[in-house]
A and B are shown apart, each in its own frame.
Chain A
Amino acid sequence: MLSIDCPWCGSRDQSEFSYGGEAHIVRPKEPEKLSDEDWGDYLFNRKNTKGRFEEQWCHTAGCRRWFNAVRDSQSYKIEAVYKIGEQSPDGIPE
């Protein structure tokens, strides 16, 4: 089981958290203007990165707040955690 550093509560067992998948997906401002292809891309297509990956976690059984993490999806090592609204360590804007 992973040990995850909640930015608010500190290090806790993974079983307290729920996974939220890829981070930094921007919801289209005017969805009605999108083509079916663009809407489908937003809804379903994912990076599914092998290696260093920005992703969302929620401390469901703790403070119940969402945050982002950079984790290596091959070694599973968590490299960094940062709050929603902050830039990722690799410079992906909020």
Chain B
Amino acid sequence: MKNKYSIFSLVRNAVSYHQNWSQAWRSPDPKPAYDAIIVGGGGHGLATAYYLAKEHSITRVAVLEKGWIGGGNTGRNTTIVRSNYLWDEAAHLYEKSLKLWEGLSQELNYNVMFSQRGVMNLGHTLQDMRDIVRRSSANQLNGIDSEVLTPAQIKNIEPTINISQQARYPILGASFQPRGGVARHDAVAWGFARGADRYGVDVIQNCEVTGIRQQNGSVTGVDTTRGFIAAPKVGVVAAGHSSLLADYAGLRMPIESHPLQALVSEPLKPVLNTVIMSNAVHGYISQSDKGELVVGAGIDSYIGYGQRGSYSVIEGNIAAIVELFPNFSRVKMLRQWGGIVDVCPDACPIISLTPVKGLYFNCGWGTGGFKATPGSGWVFAYTIARNTPHGLNAAFDLNRFYTGALIDEHGAAGVAH
């Protein structure tokens, strides 16, 4: 590999004061035609292009991004990675992704800072605990690591947490997935972009798709702010904007886009060891390697494309965090932002062929698709290359909304991420 990152390249570049690093990927002009176009340069779109090239030898590929790569939800999320979903279909898909995460830095020759520090999902009511035991058992049957912890065991792992039974919603226990954790979101986008670029994929930023052309029921290409680009295959991975792209193709989607917010604190000395999530009081928190507390909030109830949400949502969210960690009440929050999440009725993604031949959609990941980035790209590349879904994503087709075979993951995914 040209320009491989290693201890030697680091030393070599240190000698020249880091002035001579070559660019990680090209910024080419769009060609008139490609074998496949990916709409959306988030992690999922870039991963799709990478695996199309690597696994299926389809390298005449363009990724079209209307802004900058990773500027959507990929660069705005709280980076929680786990695979402890309840239903078999979801568990297998997210576990495939987790397995890819485990080798991703090596695979991409790019440090995505995947840190398997463990993810805890807290229970605060009897019903929470019943659901946790059920989900944990289902995970074990699917070969996914999962244990149920008592409050004392939780406290042992996370000494700052408040397990007092006097709390408004006392902690009764938790599920724990030791292989879960967090990763560096930007690095995931950059690593896949660099990886795809090396196979010849054109990563084209500042190029918005404004129309999808078809002839006799087959896709022929896309209109963009930089002109028409032809391709017999188009894969749309546009998260919160999926409904607009569906509209360009005359399709309707079971998706609603909502604002979802997150915030980070001033940097602190290490204080949190794992990722802690609570559906019942609704908060989730981890600590970045820089020391910031990374806190995720809930969605606003209304449809919103503004990449910002209501203050009341953050207020409720912080109240929950302070209840779990009373000593965080004096921590100053530094930044707060929002993304646009594409929510599906069953809290599961759509990775599917469409009624238009050669047009594929990958969307509906809603509040929890970062963890799926490599797996989603892997199955979507397969689907596009072979024009048929892989076994892992067959159940996640558009048809399920007509057959009724929904995959109800609200328990595992609806509010948590």
Residues of A within 8 A of B (CB): 1-2, 14-15, 18-19, 21, 36-37, 39-41, 43-50, 53, 55, 71, 73-76
Return chain B residues, CB-CB under 8 Å to A76. Answer: 302, 304, 306
Chain B interface size, as a band, is 20 to 34
Decide: A71 and B312 in contact? CB cutoff 8 A.
Answer: no
Chain B residue at minimal CB-CB distance from A21: B256
Return chain A residues, CB-CB under 8 Å to B244. Answer: 50
Return chain B residues, CB-CB under 8 Å to A37. Answer: 402
Decide: A45 and B303 in contact? CB cutoff 8 A.
Answer: no
Decide: A1 and B254 in contact? CB cutoff 8 A.
Answer: no
Decide: B310 and A1 in contact? CB cutoff 8 A.
Answer: yes
Decide: A40 and B402 in contact? CB cutoff 8 A.
Answer: yes
Does B376 have its Cβ within 8 Å of any Cβ on chain A?
A: no
Return chain B residues, CB-CB under 8 Å to A41. Answer: 252
Does B117 have its Cβ within 8 Å of any Cβ on chain A?
A: no
Return chain A residues, CB-CB under 8 Å to B253. Answer: 45-46, 48
C-alpha spacing A48/B310, complex, angstroms: 19
Chain B residue at minimal CB-CB distance from A17: B301
Residues of B within 8 A of A (CB): 241, 243-244, 252-257, 301-306, 310-312, 345, 401-404
Residue among A15, A19, A75 making CB contact with B312, cutoff 8 Å: A15
Supposing A46-B256, A48-B243 touch, asked if A73 and B345 sit within 8 A by C-beta, the answer is: no
Return chain A residues, CB-CB under 8 Å to B311. Answer: 1
Decide: A73 and B310 in contact? CB cutoff 8 A.
Answer: no
Supposing A40-B402, A45-B252 touch, asked if A50 and B312 sit within 8 A by C-beta, the answer is: no
Supposing A2-B310, A40-B401, A44-B254 touch, asked if A55 and B302 sit within 8 A by C-beta, the answer is: yes
Return chain B residues, CB-CB under 8 Å to A73. Answer: 257, 302-306
C-alpha spacing A37/B304, complex, angstroms: 27
Decide: A19 and B301 in contact? CB cutoff 8 A.
Answer: yes
B40 to chain A, nearest CB (A): 15
Decide: B302 and A48 in contact? CB cutoff 8 A.
Answer: no
B251 to chain A, nearest CB (A): 9
Chain B residue at minimal CB-CB distance from A74: B305
Return chain B residues, CB-CB under 8 Å to A18. Answer: 301
Residue among B255, B401, B402 making CB contact with A48, cutoff 8 Å: B255
Chain B residue at minimal CB-CB distance from A40: B402
Decide: A55 and B312 in contact? CB cutoff 8 A.
Answer: no
Supposing A45-B401, A55-B303 touch, asked if A14 and B310 sit within 8 A by C-beta, the answer is: yes
Return chain A residues, CB-CB under 8 Å to B404. Answer: 36, 40
C-alpha spacing A18/B302, complex, angstroms: 9
C-alpha spacing A75/B307, complex, angstroms: 10
C-alpha spacing A15/B255, complex, angstroms: 24
7 smallest beta-carbon distances between A and B, as pairs: A44-B254, A48-B243, A19-B301, A40-B402, A45-B252, A40-B401, A44-B401
Chain A residue at minimal CB-CB distance from B301: A19
A39 to chain B, nearest CB (A): 8
Return chain A residues, CB-CB under 8 Å to B302. Answer: 2, 19, 55, 71, 73, 76
Chain B residue at minimal CB-CB distance from A53: B303
Interface core residue of A19, A21, A53, A73 (most chain B CB under 10 Å): A73
B310 to chain A, nearest CB (A): 5
Chain B residue at minimal CB-CB distance from A44: B254
Decide: A1 and B257 in contact? CB cutoff 8 A.
Answer: no
Return chain B residues, CB-CB under 8 Å to A1. Answer: 310-312
Interface core residue of B301, B403, B404 (most chain A CB under 10 Å): B301
Return chain A residues, CB-CB under 8 Å to B241. Answer: 50
Chain B residue at minimal CB-CB distance from A47: B243
Query: What are 5 A-B pairs with beta-carbon distances under 8 A?
Result: A36-B404, A45-B401, A48-B257, A49-B303, A50-B244
Supposing A15-B312, A73-B303, A74-B305 touch, asked if A45 and B254 sit within 8 A by C-beta, the answer is: yes
Chain B residue at minimal CB-CB distance from A39: B402
Return chain A residues, CB-CB under 8 Å to B256. Answer: 21, 46, 48
B211 to chain A, nearest CB (A): 15
Known: A45-B401, A46-B255. 19 other contacts (CB 8 A): A1-B312, A2-B302, A14-B312, A19-B302, A36-B403, A36-B404, A40-B402, A40-B404, A44-B254, A46-B252, A48-B253, A49-B243, A49-B303, A50-B243, A71-B302, A73-B304, A73-B306, A76-B302, A76-B306
